[in-house]
Amino acid sequence: MIKEKEIKKIDDAPVKEIESGESGDTLKELIEKNIKWSQVIYEQNKGIKRRLTWMVVGGYLRLLIVVVPLILAFIYLPPILKDLFAQYSNLLGGFSGAAKGGQLDIGGILNQVSPDQIQQIMKTLGK
């Protein structure tokens, strides 16, 4: 049940205060509690927002950690492998036509391998 009381403020302006029947809380007390709870919720939301911001930043950093090395490998690895293959082509058996433009030509290598060599490889592998 709600009761109304007329209370005089400091400047003698009439203000109506509402009391609830069971708990006896006045409207002013309820508003103060509401403001306190709102402040608590606001502080929690600030913390959540800060944490979400750091999660987004961390996500971008993880993406950069994966993507940047891939891009660098795509740019720098082919010339390095080309030079490396040119230096060690003699160790691979000195196949003529094995390298075309710095790339390995598997078909050229297989054409130079004799059937006897294939049989030796198969015996070595145990088949």
DSSP string, 51-112: HHHHHHHHHHHHHHHHHHHHHHHHHHHHHHHHHHHHHTTTTTT--TTSEETTEE-HHHHHHH
pTM beyond 0.85: the answer is no
User: What pLDDT is stored for residue 7 in this prediction?
Assistant: 44
Residue 9 CB partners (closer than 8 Å, separation 6+) = 15
N-term to C-term CA, the chain = 96
pLDDT tens digit sequence for 92-126: 665 554 445 556 667 777 777 788 888 888 888 87
Instruction: Tell me which residues of the chain have a pLDDT lower than 70.
Output: 1-24, 90-105, 127
